């Protein structure tokens, strides 16, 4: 049973999520919050497995609420629910420690699958949002925005000098780059000619070695080190969900 806290300022939206989750035998709604401050308080009191977090809420928004919840060191994982016109918030939510993004108009089975994935420690991004989110995040990185002709070389040196990257095997480095480009496990298996179970093993080792909690944070690391860039790597316009 996965326990869920719903944080959204729209009562009808919360009701819809509650009805869906309560009709599913594997999920239990333990609380509702109408703004970020309430979400932070209830997260501490109820300790849910997953928090469905809206972005735009009165008072404290979902980004700041996510930052405070993750910083508390609890086991709660945050699944951001967003719409296409909120792309500009993607990088902030990534930095805040969100474990995933889904559109509010996602199919019920997609939302339930996303909740299960996040609760299991994986990360999830809606297929239609993956590239847009990665590109939005990249545009806010200094090395991307600087326009310096030497930025690519300095990024390469930055990655080579990072002890977390040096700890990786050649195959694990390939996996980190693929994660940064938004490849799903299936895409990695097909492109690298290995079994999907092998990919999952490699992903787990990469996350442990570089010291990140999930694939979302691995994406941040890959972009920060300059080993992943917008519209590079897989060549897919719409990579698959990251779980």
Domains in the chain: ranges and CATH: 2-121 (3.40.50.2300), 148-224 (1.10.10.10)
Which run of H or of E encompasses 28?
Answer: strand 27-33
For 102-119, write each residue's pLDDT tens digit. Answer: 888 888 998 999 999 889
The model's pTM is 0.67
For 122-179, write each residue's pLDDT tens digit. Answer: 777 765 555 566 665 555 555 433 333 344 444 455 677 788 888 999 999 999 999 8
Region for 104 from its dihedrals, namely left if φ exceeds 0, alpha if ψ lies in -120 to 50, beta otherwise: alpha
**Res 182: pLDDT:** 76
Give the separation between CA 68 and CA 98, rounded to whole angstroms: 11
Task: Choose among 79, 123, 100: nearest CA to 243.
Answer: 123
Burial class (CB in 10 A: 0-12, 13-18, 19+), 55: buried
């Amino acid at each position: 049973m996965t326990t869920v806290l719903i944080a959204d300022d729209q009562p009808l939206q919360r009701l819809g999520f509650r009805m869906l989750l309560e009709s599913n035998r594997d999920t239990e709604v333990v609380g509702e919050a109408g703004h970020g401050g309430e979400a932070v308080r209830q997260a501490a009191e109820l300790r849910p497995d997953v928090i469905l977090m809206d972005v735009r809420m009165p008072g404290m928004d979902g980004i700041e609420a996510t930052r405070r919840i993750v910083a508390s060191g609890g086991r709660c994982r945050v699944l951001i629910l967003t719409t296409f016109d909120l792309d500009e918030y993607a990088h902030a939510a990534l930095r805040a420690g969100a474990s995933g993004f889904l559109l509010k108009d996602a199919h019920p089975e997609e939302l339930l699958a996303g909740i299960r994935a996040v609760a299991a420690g994986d990360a999830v991004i809606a297929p239609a949002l993956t590239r847009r989110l990665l590109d939005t995040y990249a545009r806010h990185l200094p090395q991307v925005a600087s326009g310096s002709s030497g930025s690519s070389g300095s990024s390469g040196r930055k990655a080579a000098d990072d002890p977390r990257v040096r700890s990786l095997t050649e195959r694990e480095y390939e996996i980190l780059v693929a994660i940064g480009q938004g490849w799903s496990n299936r895409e990695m298996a097909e492109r690298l000619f290995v079994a999907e179970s092998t990919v999952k093993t490699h992903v787990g080792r990469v996350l442990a070695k570089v010291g990140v909690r999930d694939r979302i944070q691995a994406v941040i690391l890959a972009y920060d080190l300059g080993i992943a860039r917008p519209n590079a790597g897989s060549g897919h316009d719409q990579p698959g969900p990251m779980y």
